[in-house]
Chain A
Amino acid sequence: MGGLRELDRVLRGEATDRPALARDGLAVPVGPLLRVSALLAAGYGVCMGVYGLAARAEPEVRQLLADAVKVPALFLLTLVVTFPSLYVFNALVGSRLGARELARLMAAAVAVTVAVLAGLGPIVAFFSLTTTSYAFVVLLNVAVFAVAGGFGLAFLLRTLEKLTARPAPTPAPAAETELVPAGEDEAPAAPPTPPPAPPATDVGVTAVFRVWVVLFAVVGAQMSWVLRPFIGSPTEPFTWFRPRESSFVEAVLRSFRALFAG
């Protein structure tokens, strides 16, 4: 499958090393990457849904199916919600990244996140199979998502830095050779230029991305809340969705209390 090979290139860093980026930008196909991401996310969903099979008196296969759809949906919907604003603000601060390059960057970052998630999937499935404590499984899944998100975030910011700090056409050495003779008698007049700092716009782009990453996490958490139940409390009957109530943060704190206070 072509998507897997592309994902592999992204994971290995072949698609994002500096020579490759300088040559032809971020050259990854969005469609195949998103497809393989959806597939891997569905795989993680199956691992997540194992709890529905194991913890209930009678196995709930529908939870497995629901998760296999919901986890990919979680990522895609979060991306859909946050991408437009990212594009707008990115363009607003004068980024060098066009819409197409931005889409590729997002697809690659999501693919990395989902790959880590899928890699941790067997562990989640194992714990879901053997654990009866609902709170533990909830917190384990939150932790796994946090780890995967951390890797995706690190990839995103690193690649962004490489993309925006692409070497400017004027090479620095030329400036240095001019400075050396001038420094003999006109030292105060011509202070040595500092190392070429990134243009001011790039600082803006980095700031936009940092804010956006936080936004992505918040929206993702809230989206997961909208799409719940993912794990399914074993004491409640199966539902595809739950009514609107409470919030993600509150639920995580409740799980902590349940786990630590017995």
Chain B
Amino acid sequence: MTTLAFRLVDGLLRGAPAAGGWGAGLAVVVLGGMAYGAVMGASAGLGGDRPLQVLFSAVKVPLLLLVTTALALPSFFVMNSLLGLRADFPEAARAVAAAQAAVAVVLAALAPYTALWYATSADYHEAILFNVAMFAAASAAAQWVLRRRYAALVARDPRHRAMLRAWLGVYAFVGVQMGWVLRPFVGRPDRPVTFFRDDAWGNAYVVVLDLAWQALTRWPGWSFP
């Protein structure tokens, strides 16, 4: 079992053409995501009700990856069909799924760093920044996997390049909001543990626009209405 799992993950990372089926990929996303999420939620230690945060975060990281993919896939399917790439869609979907599995695997591999960070710094905002950096690293690595799998497709038909960009655009657009909605991942040390934050229902983009607008209007020397 362990050797099988190892071979699966190893094949995934090395870009083996057929590294396991859908079930195996799903298992990798869930297990890898849970491993990182569990560490992620342990920023305020394990005392009191904090183990609950560990559990919540462990559930949320795989959810983030899986639900974002599920929401972005239908339009991806239609657009692929329209561009005449339907015959390649199973392969494209496998590439996208492999990228999700890669995110999870890389995250799990980075989890020890996060644990070490938590052990050395108790600052909440630094913890968030560090996790952002870990997610960025995992996304970059997964893009590598995705591009490698897409290389064969692009060689067959250059229109796959446009589809790859479209996928990344839609995935990022949905993923950012999904991450926002599923907060808290790290969990403020001064607040009780909750699965969703009370004020979580909101829109990440609106928040960013608001912040940008406030920064602009309150800039010294600027006089906006």
Contacts and interface: CB of A to CB of B under 8 A. Distances in A.
17 contacts: A11-B82, A12-B84, A116-B79, A119-B79, A123-B72, A126-B174, A127-B177, A130-B181, A131-B202, A131-B203, A132-B203, A133-B202, A151-B82, A259-B206, A259-B209, A262-B209, A262-B210
Interface of B: 70-72, 74-79, 81-82, 84, 86, 170, 173-174, 177-178, 180-181, 201-203, 205-206, 209-210, 213-214
Nearest to B224: A261
Contacts of B72: 123
B84 A13 contact: yes
A116 B82 contact: yes
Nearest to B67: A126
At the interface, is chain A mostly helix, strand, loop or mixed?
helix
B175 to A, nearest CB: 11
A13 to B, nearest CB: 5
The size class of the interface chain A forms with chain B is: 20 to 34
Give 10 closest A-B pairs by Cβ, nearest first. Answer: A119-B78, A119-B75, A131-B203, A11-B81, A133-B206, A119-B74, A120-B75, A130-B181, A122-B71, A13-B84
Nearest to B86: A12
Contacts of B82: 11, 13, 112, 115-116, 151, 155
Contacts of B180: 130
Contacts of A260: 209, 213
A118 interface: yes
Interface of A: 8, 11-13, 54, 112, 115-116, 118-123, 126-127, 130-133, 136, 151, 155, 259-262
A12 B89 CA distance: 11
A257 to B, nearest CB: 11
A126 B64 CA distance: 13
A130 B177 contact: yes
Contacts of A13: 82, 84
Given A126-B177, A127-B203, A130-B201, A12 B75 contact: no
A121 B174 CA distance: 12
Nearest to B201: A130
A130 B181 CA distance: 7
Given A12-B84, A12-B86, A122-B70, A131 B75 contact: no
B176 to A, nearest CB: 11
A248 B79 CA distance: 28
A12 B86 CA distance: 6
A121 B74 contact: yes
Contacts of B81: 8, 11-12
Nearest to B77: A119
Contacts of B76: 119
A140 B84 CA distance: 27
Contacts of B79: 116, 119, 151
A130 B86 contact: no
Contacts of A122: 70-71, 74
Given A116-B75, A133-B206, A262-B209, 6 more contacts: A120-B75, A122-B74, A123-B71, A123-B72, A130-B181, A131-B177
A131 B178 CA distance: 11
A198 B100 CA distance: 49
A128 to B, nearest CB: 10
A155 B84 CA distance: 11
Contacts of B206: 131, 133, 136, 259
A133 B203 contact: yes
A196 to B, nearest CB: 26
B50 to A, nearest CB: 26
B71 A132 contact: no
A86 B84 CA distance: 28
Contacts of A54: 201
Contacts of B213: 260-262
